Amino acid sequence: MPANTLPPPAHIGVIMDGNGRWAKKHFQPRSMGHRAGARNFRTITRYASRIGVKYLTVYAFSTENWARPAEEVGALMGLFKDYLQEALRDFMDENIRVRFIGDTSAFAPELQALIREVEEASAPKTGMVLNLAMNYGGRAELVRGARLFAQAVERGEASPQDLTEEGFARYLYTGGQPDPDLIIRPSGEQRVSNFLLWQCAYAEFVYFDILWPDFKTQDLDRAIAIYHSRQRRFGGV
């Protein structure tokens, strides 16, 4: 049962960091750290859905992660395939809708097919929306949004002088969703790392000195309690 008496924030973002250091600590290859991280992703996602989080956005693969050694990228791609297959079964039972944010066209055709399958199969689900950020970068998302807007102007469907912040947000992957209220980064790093750059404008950040594979459901409760202890002013007083 949730430890917090107050309801969780509607939208939580998580930067799943520290898999590599976890593997090193356990004298294992980095791929094993990602495997442990992927298992934990499942646990935390299920828990978030059960305690009533409406939107959960997790950073699984950034536009910069392609620069890692081919072996590590390959291991991550393998994990994505395994876990998306499991997600098909698992998250469906939990009434979770899975969406992908990022340029998924860069992935292998087999993975892209799986991504489409998961999105389509879970589209009718009415529970928590899980945004999986894969080949995602906040700057790339903003450039894509600007391009989509420019194309709409070219087609005569939009006009630059009528563009508002709300209107522009609709060109982002998260269009139509509320901005994250809380962003959690385990592992001790205190950086945004190109995650939800537009959407994080008023998010509360909580950093924990825990490696992602060790991040427990109690830590999510703790982050939510910290969130509730903060006073959000949205630029006011």
Which residues lie near ligand FPP (CB under 6 A)? Answer: 16-21, 34, 37-38, 41, 60, 65, 79-80, 83, 132
Closest residue by beta carbon to ligand FPP: 20
> Positive or negative, the Cα torsion across 84, 88, 92, 94?
negative
Judge whether 95 counts as a catalytic residue: no
Cα distance between residue 153 and residue 45, in whole Å: 39
- Residue placing its CB nearer to ligand FPP in the complex, 39 or 139: 39
Cα distance between residue 48 and residue 95, in whole Å: 12
State the nearest-atom distance from the C-beta of 122 to ligand FPP, in Å: 14
- Residue placing its CB nearer to ligand FPP in the complex, 118 or 171: 118
Cα distance between residue 132 and residue 100, in whole Å: 5
Q: Exactly one of 4, 19, 40, 65 is catalytic; name it.
A: 65
State the nearest-atom distance from the C-beta of 79 to ligand FPP, in Å: 5
**Inter-residue contact 173 to 143 (CB < 8 Å):** no
- Residue placing its CB nearer to ligand FPP in the complex, 55 or 80: 80
Judge whether 65 counts as a catalytic residue: yes
CB neighbours (10 Å) of residue 199?
Answer: 22
Going by their DSSP bridges, the two strands 55-62 and 182-185 should be labelled as: unpaired
- Tell me which residues are annotated as active site: 17, 65
